[in-house]
């Protein structure tokens, strides 16, 4: 919630209702492509050791929030892939990567 309020974008404020969790246990490249292909919204990405948020307002305005780094503006698929690789570095690969979508109320 604090990430959404920190963005100067009114569209982001109402994106906070949790939807069904998906298992996105794939390679880093497949995970990045899968996440970037999702519709606009807010997604929680959970690994065995970390949790990041992906915010997609439209095809051009996308953000990744890593609590250890802060907000990363995702300007390309390669940047998202690199940011996710860094966030997933400590992940136990034998465990699932889960993605929650928060939807408007």
Per residue in 48-60, pLDDT (tens digit) is 777 889 999 988 8
Threshold 0.75, pTM exceeds: no
Distance CA 100, CA 17 (A): 10
Confidence of residue 67 (pLDDT cuts 50, 70, 90): confident
Residue 77 three-state SS: helix
Per residue in 7-66, pLDDT (tens digit) is 555 555 455 554 545 555 567 778 888 888 888 888 888 877 778 899 999 888 899 998
pLDDT attached to residue 18: 45
CA angle 46, 101, 27 (to 5 degrees): 45
Instruction: Give 27 or 75, the one with higher predicted confidence.
Output: 75
Residue 103 three-state SS: strand
With 60 as the cut, is the pLDDT of residue 89 above it?
Answer: yes
């Amino acid at each position: 919630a604090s990430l959404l309020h920190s963005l100067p974008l009114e569209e982001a404020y109402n994106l906070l209702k949790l939807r069904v969790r998906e298992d996105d246990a794939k390679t880093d490249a497949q995970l990045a492509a899968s996440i970037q292909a999702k519709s606009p919204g807010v997604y929680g990405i959970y690994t065995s050791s970390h949790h990041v948020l992906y915010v997609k307002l439209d095809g051009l305005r996308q953000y990744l929030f890593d609590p250890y780094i802060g907000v990363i503006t995702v300007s390309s698929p390669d940047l998202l892939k690199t940011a996710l690789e860094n966030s997933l570095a400590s992940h136990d690969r034998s465990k699932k990567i889960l993605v929650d979508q928060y939807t408007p109320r």
